[in-house]
Chain A
């Protein structure tokens, strides 16, 4: 077990009339190097769960485990842990606070106490990684970038920590199709090339489905399904009842299969679908 929880329960504002049970008895574990997806409708507890994974929220009961050790057992430990597990919040660009892209990204390495030349190196690397030219963007004002660029800068600002685990809360919300595609390419590269463990949450399954190794499904604060992506995405009806639809191509493949055509349904991108349908046409003799 690399990262996971044991009977994690979280209640906001316990003991007041406003108490909300945001998580109840959630237990799961993920392996190092995995690409994991947390899906669930709005208000199902995704953000709450994610903030437990790097100790920003403390469990009301239960535990969060990282490499077998309970998260948050002591303050200094927690600080070190947060530097190993990077978290990109929902709409992270709303949290910019610097006057330049450079300072924004340098915040994390400066917190690590690195010297200025090392900080500079990390900023350049991080910008490069998200596909932005350091020279062109370092002195720009972060608030005056396009939505897609802001999101990338916000991600670079966490990459500069050089974490081993990267967690994203609804990373594609508010982005156009192109930025979304670029973002998924970036996530794939981080996971496959750099070997980072990547965890993302979303209430809307799209290209993300194609990338996932394993999936956690939350509903009203409970973990209702968990397992390898293929198994979860096969339970189309159950997902549908939770208000979660599969990506449109996958839906089409399911409908073709229901019509009796011999196609594979675990298909999440247009490209795969095209190949699968071609194959099927070759094989299929009505």
Chain B
């Protein structure tokens, strides 16, 4: 079982941040993201970054997870920096290479955008690191609920999301098992041209599909046997209760953020 949780980036823990109600965690994240998008001063941004780091420390997330989380946006960040450095004019000229110049406005704005991007990623990362994928989908399902009135089957969408999440690790395990079984029977996935390697994957894909369909069938049967009906109102084993503690955290965060936001430093 423990193996299936590793999907996504969830890091088990016992900190306050881990235990916060997932719905409120998502709500708080959205608030923070909106504020991040609208703030305009370096001092406020710095305060947000500091706050993010503080939360990471509170959640006891090792530093390397933070770096690993930032890696995927590195390329976008570099790209943005280049654009801003070379194509924004204004302020004093810092560097001149032929007819290309880097001016101070561009540097200031570019760094601001990139820092903001990092802050956005860090806050989102914090939520995915401290919330199980299942609670996350439940939380999101909750916010989808109002969409029922425009015809979106919110409960079912949430169910589809959590079932898919449940099966990703299973399928990954299965593909590994198949690969090993075929390796044991002399298959060669490693040597030869790319074309050969790609062709050697065909006998892997067929049984994966077969077993995915078989599992889907079995699951549907098991769910029906336990009286799952589309459109029926469902209750949950783990009630999603919001404790006073959760409200207090939310209130605190909102206050803190508005103070930083309004007054800068």
Which residue of the partner chain B has the closest CB to A12? B3
Q: A18-B6, A75-B191, A97-B207 are in contact. Are A108 and B178 (CB under 8 A)?
A: no
B186 near A161 with CB under 8 A, answer yes
Assess whether A96 is interfacial by the CB under 8 Å rule.
Answer: yes
Cross-interface CB contact of B185 among A16, A17, A76, A158, cutoff 8 Å = A158
Cβ–Cβ < 8 Å partners of B190 in chain A: 75, 79
Which residue of the partner chain B has the closest CB to A160? B185
Cβ–Cβ < 8 Å partners of B204 in chain A: 97
- From DSSP, what is the main secondary structure of chain B's interface residues? helix
Assess whether B206 is interfacial by the CB under 8 Å rule.
Answer: yes
- Category for how many chain B residues contact A: 20 to 34
Q: How many A-B residue pairs have CB under 8 A?
A: 65
B181 near A89 with CB under 8 A, answer yes
B184 near A158 with CB under 8 A, answer yes
A82 near B183 with CB under 8 A, answer yes
Cβ–Cβ < 8 Å partners of A18 in chain B: 2-3, 5-6
**Contact indicator per residue, chain B 189-215, by CB within 8 Å of chain A (1) or not (0):** 011000000000001101100110000
**Contact indicator per residue, chain B 95-130, by CB within 8 Å of chain A (1) or not (0):** 000000000000000000000000000000000000
A17 near B12 with CB under 8 A, answer yes
Docked complex Cα distance between A56 and B203 (Å): 18
A51 near B180 with CB under 8 A, answer yes
A54 near B184 with CB under 8 A, answer yes
Assess whether B177 is interfacial by the CB under 8 Å rule.
Answer: yes
Assess whether A95 is interfacial by the CB under 8 Å rule.
Answer: yes
Cβ–Cβ < 8 Å partners of B180 in chain A: 51, 56, 89
B186 near A97 with CB under 8 A, answer no
Docked complex Cα distance between A82 and B183 (Å): 8
Which residue of the partner chain B has the closest CB to A112? B186
Q: Which residues in window 233-282 of A have CB below 8 A to B?
A: none
Q: How many residues on chain A are close to B (CB under 8 Å)? A: 28
B207 near A157 with CB under 8 A, answer no
Nearest-neighbour CB distance to chain A for B265, whole angstroms, equals 37
Nearest-neighbour CB distance to chain B for A170, whole angstroms, equals 14
Docked complex Cα distance between A60 and B187 (Å): 24
Cβ–Cβ < 8 Å partners of B5 in chain A: 18
Assess whether A13 is interfacial by the CB under 8 Å rule.
Answer: yes
Q: Which residues in window 107-166 of A have CB below 8 A to B?
A: 107-108, 111-112, 157-158, 161
Nearest-neighbour CB distance to chain B for A268, whole angstroms, equals 30
Cβ–Cβ < 8 Å partners of B207 in chain A: 95-97
Which residue of the partner chain B has the closest CB to A98? B203
**Contact indicator per residue, chain A 63-95, by CB within 8 Å of chain B (1) or not (0):** 000000000000110010011001101001011
Assess whether B28 is interfacial by the CB under 8 Å rule.
Answer: no
Cβ–Cβ < 8 Å partners of B188 in chain A: 79, 111
Assess whether B44 is interfacial by the CB under 8 Å rule.
Answer: no
B184 near A86 with CB under 8 A, answer yes
Q: Which residues in window 15-49 of A have CB below 8 A to B?
A: 16-18
A16 near B6 with CB under 8 A, answer yes
Nearest-neighbour CB distance to chain A for B68, whole angstroms, equals 12
A97 near B184 with CB under 8 A, answer no
Which residue of the partner chain B has the closest CB to A85? B184
Assess whether B182 is interfacial by the CB under 8 Å rule.
Answer: yes
B183 near A97 with CB under 8 A, answer no
Q: Which residues in window 169-217 of A have CB below 8 A to B?
A: none
A108 near B186 with CB under 8 A, answer yes
Cβ–Cβ < 8 Å partners of A76 in chain B: 191
Cross-interface CB contact of A92 among B2, B12, B181, cutoff 8 Å = B181
Q: Which of B181, B184, B185, B203 has the most CB of A within 10 A?
A: B185
27 contacts between A and B (CB under 8 A): A16-B6, A17-B11, A18-B3, A18-B6, A51-B180, A54-B184, A56-B180, A56-B183, A79-B186, A79-B191, A83-B186, A86-B184, A86-B185, A87-B184, A89-B181, A89-B184, A95-B177, A95-B207, A97-B178, A97-B182, A97-B204, A97-B207, A98-B203, A107-B182, A107-B186, A107-B187, A111-B185
Task: Give 6 A-B pairs besides A56-B184, A107-B182, A107-B203 with Cβ atoms closer than 8 angstroms.
Answer: A17-B11, A75-B190, A82-B183, A89-B184, A107-B185, A107-B186
* B→A interface (CB under 8 Å): 2-3, 5-6, 11-12, 177-178, 180-188, 190-191, 203-204, 206-207, 210-211
